[in-house]
């Protein structure tokens, strides 16, 4: 199946820029949105970040404010991670992870860490796909991928709760009243 071969190729090849590959000049919001669309593998409408979403992440304290309407490498690194994480985590959950990350390592090291885990996850997902899957077996592939995602989501949420508790950030997981 051509579609599965293309999916596998993209999962194998498409990666965000390294820290040194991020633009080293500040960007305006419209440039940021355009740049981020090329940072992660997007397969449909609505997967990328919009300026409204970015502004909301700033209001929620997930991302630092722009420096005079311009966004730097640190902003781009965090927004790249947020673009991937938003698919599977709430803003509160991402805030725990990024807060702990900020406490543990510098932004460039945190971004490298993120990129290495994203690379491994995409490589693993590509390995699950047999591009020669028949139409008859395609539902099995979809169910397998969905159940792996479900199991990983459960494990992620529970591990995140442990992380929040052990680092004293459990308040970040509570809903605001």
pLDDT in tens, 77-134: 999 999 999 989 999 999 999 999 999 999 999 999 999 999 999 999 999 999 999 9
Reported as a single tens digit per residue, the pLDDT across 140-172 is: 999 999 999 999 999 999 999 999 999 999 999
Looking at residue 41, its pLDDT comes to: 72
HEC states along 117-144?
Answer: HHHHHHHHHHHCCCCCCCCCCHHHHHHH
The sign one gets for the Cα dihedral 83, 121, 135, 2 is: positive
Q: Are 94 and 161 in contact (CB under 8 A)?
A: no
* In contact, 170 and 162? CB cutoff 8 Å: no
This prediction's pTM: 0.91
What are the structural domain ranges in the chain?
Answer: 2-173
pLDDT tens digits for range 44-92 = 666 789 999 999 999 999 999 999 999 999 999 999 999 999 989 999 9
Contacts of 58 (CB under 8 A, 6+ apart): 64, 65, 66
For residues 167 and 146, give the distance between their C-alpha atoms in angstroms, rounded to a whole number: 31
The reported pLDDT for the residue numbered 174 is 87
Q: Output the pLDDT for position 45.
A: 63
Q: pLDDT tens, 13-36?
A: 999 999 999 999 999 999 999 999
What b/e sequence results for 43-63 when a residue is b if at least 16 CB atoms lie within 10 Å of its CB, and e otherwise? eeeeebbeeebbeebeeeebb
């Amino acid at each position: 199946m051509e579609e599965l071969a293309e999916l596998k190729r993209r999962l194998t090849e498409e990666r965000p820029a390294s820290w040194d590959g991020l633009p080293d000049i500040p960007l305006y919001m419209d440039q940021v949105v355009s740049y981020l669309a090329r940072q992660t593998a997007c397969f449909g409408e609505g997967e990328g970040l919009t300026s409204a979403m970015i502004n909301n992440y700033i209001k929620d304290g997930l991302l630092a404010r722009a420096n005079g309407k311009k966004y730097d490498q640190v902003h781009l690194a965090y927004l790249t991670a947020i673009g991937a994480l938003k698919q599977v985590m709430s803003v509160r959950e991402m805030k725990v992870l990024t807060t702990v990350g900020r406490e543990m390592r510098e932004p460039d090291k945190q971004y490298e860490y993120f990129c290495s885990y994203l690379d491994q996850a995409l490589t693993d997902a590509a390995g699950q796909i047999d591009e020669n899957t028949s139409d008859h077996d395609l539902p099995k592939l979809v169910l397998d991928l969905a159940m792996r995602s479900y199991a990983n989501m459960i494990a992620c949420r529970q591990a995140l709760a442990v992380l929040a508790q052990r680092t004293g950030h459990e308040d970040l997981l509570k809903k605001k009243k």
